[in-house]
Chains A and B, each alone.
Chain A
């Protein structure tokens, strides 16, 4: 599988990365090399290997349904770039 410039543009758009046109060629090559490297896995015979979603052999870790204190409003908003009326203020999301 090779990576095209179109793929890179698409992935950049999904990730909200503003990719300058002059960087496109370089990223297409770099990303292509990474994908090519991972492609080595396809040469392996994995017939007897179960699909794995996690590398750590741990499962069924639960939390009990008991309330613990939350942050205060000012603690929550301490990380906000801008705040208004107790809320995080962000650029308008609908036209």
Chain B
């Protein structure tokens, strides 16, 4: 059954909470020394700890804890001075021990927040907790449908689970929160945040209630969304479903729903699992941990400037438009490149335009990040200066950029070698102008009869003849002079 968009939204208010699982990019797994690596041949990245063999002992990777503290601090959370690990018990073939090592009552971080923009206002989204845990293995289902195959390489990959308070009130807010969360995590450099590889995964809890009612409605849990867009679509769908069930006098059943992206609908997850009863208890294999102020302060000192702070600074320090500033800040590599370039060439607006425009276009076409480009900030500003000084036109400048990236050479060298410099020399330009005037007598008559704007057409024709190399300003001036007979 499809639940169509209705006009009854205003009667109900959605209440949404999100759980994000993030794989940390430590060198090794969370509780053993196997490489934390994606894409290896099945079951070659495992050891007795991964396989849960009797007698094996998990030992915490210190780096994973430091990363979790870093994430906690970036989310304005309190870092617990005492933390411990607990066993979350359930049976599934990709979980070799029959339990997942996670954190129950003493997570690494609690009570934080992230700010999002909701309309013109800032809104705080509470972060309930962020805790460390181990990832499970991967089960694949045989195409004969007779068995499942399990690869334990992913087992023990360090995860941090970030849980919001039920503070989100629309699918759009959920989408905005996820984007700013992801950008913040990317700035921290603790994960590649790649949803396609599963290094960032998101589940959602959703309920609705009549506007004005304080008590929460019955929630459903949404899983299997593979992009932020899918999270938004799944929430929109599920809100409509809740509304229509309730308006028809029915009741929402608390259950887990799976998002089917191709059908664009949610479906009840059928599972043989018992009602969730994880029987958490302290893991006797892992000793408890105390986190002192010295450790927290040293992690805090490593925190980079976070995207929202950077945006505010870019707007005021460089007087950029919000659009340009957002494009630069959306990629910390781009933002760093921008600032290095502005040091060399203090016209921030010009540099921002080049980065947000032609450079971003090249990145998109070449499908590489900015640090993968054969371009230094210095080389870019040399090109910008050539355009600003009129050595090449804006259009040719973009072409020069492409060649610079292809060849890894400087703007000067390419302009020289290809003879791309703009022609501003009067006698060379007059030769072209004479030709254009001879071929467009009708247009010349129009100009003479008082339609000076028609000169633009002649400039265009002359530009074409020059192969884009003529200085258009100069052309305009000379054509006007020539026709006026001065």
Q: Which of A56, A63, A79, A93 contacts B61 (CB 8 A)?
A: A63
Residues of chain B with a CB closer than 8 A to A26's CB? none
Residue of A nearest to B31 (CB): A63
Q: Which of B147, B270, B282 contacts A89 (CB 8 A)?
A: B147
1/0 per position for A35-73, CB-CB distance to B under 8 A?
A: 000000000000000000110101111111111101111
Secondary structure dominating the interface of A: loop
Q: Are B282 and A53 in contact, CB atoms less than 8 angstroms apart? A: yes
Residues of chain A with a CB closer than 8 A to B47's CB? 68, 70-71
B473 CB within 8 Å of chain A: no
Q: Are B43 and A86 in contact, CB atoms less than 8 angstroms apart? A: yes
Q: Which of B61, B149, B287 contacts A88 (CB 8 A)?
A: B149
Residues of chain A with a CB closer than 8 A to B84's CB? 53-54
A85 to B41, CA, bound (A): 10
B42 CB within 8 Å of chain A: yes
Residues of chain A with a CB closer than 8 A to B141's CB? 92-94
Q: Which of A16, A66, A79, A91 contacts B51 (CB 8 A)?
A: A79
A61 to B41, CA, bound (A): 31
A76 CB within 8 Å of chain B: yes
Q: Are B277 and A79 in contact, CB atoms less than 8 angstroms apart? A: no
Residues of chain B with a CB closer than 8 A to A66's CB? 27-28, 33
For chain B, the count of residues having a C-beta within 8 Å of the partner chain is 53
Q: A76-B152, A90-B148, A92-B145 are in contact. Are A63 and B59 (CB under 8 A)?
A: yes
Q: A84-B142, A87-B150 are in contact. Are A60 and B44 (CB under 8 A)?
A: no
A72 to B46, CA, bound (A): 8
For chain A, the count of residues having a C-beta within 8 Å of the partner chain is 36
A24 CB within 8 Å of chain B: no
B62 CB within 8 Å of chain A: yes
A48 to B155, CA, bound (A): 40
How far apart are A22's CB and chain B's nearest CB, in angstroms? Answer: 23
B139 CB within 8 Å of chain A: yes
Which residues of chain B from 88 to 147 have any CB-CB distance to chain A below 8 Å in the complex?
A: 89, 91-93, 139-142, 145-147
A9 to B139, CA, bound (A): 29
Q: A73-B42, A73-B43, A79-B51 are in contact. Are A65 and B290 (CB under 8 A)?
A: no
How far apart are A80's CB and chain B's nearest CB, in angstroms? Answer: 9
Q: Are B42 and A87 in contact, CB atoms less than 8 angstroms apart? A: yes
Residue of A nearest to B53 (CB): A79
Q: Which of B46, B89, B92, B149 contacts A76 (CB 8 A)?
A: B46
Residue picked from B26, B142, B147, most chain A C-beta under 10 Å = B147
Residues of chain A with a CB closer than 8 A to B27's CB? 65-67
**A–B Cβ pairs within 8 angstroms, 26 of them:** A14-B89, A14-B277, A16-B91, A53-B84, A53-B282, A54-B287, A54-B288, A61-B60, A63-B28, A63-B33, A64-B61, A67-B34, A68-B47, A70-B44, A71-B44, A86-B42, A86-B43, A86-B44, A87-B149, A88-B43, A88-B149, A89-B150, A90-B147, A90-B149, A91-B147, A94-B148
Residues of A bordering B, CB below 8 Å: 13-14, 16, 53-54, 56, 58-68, 70-73, 76-77, 79, 84-95
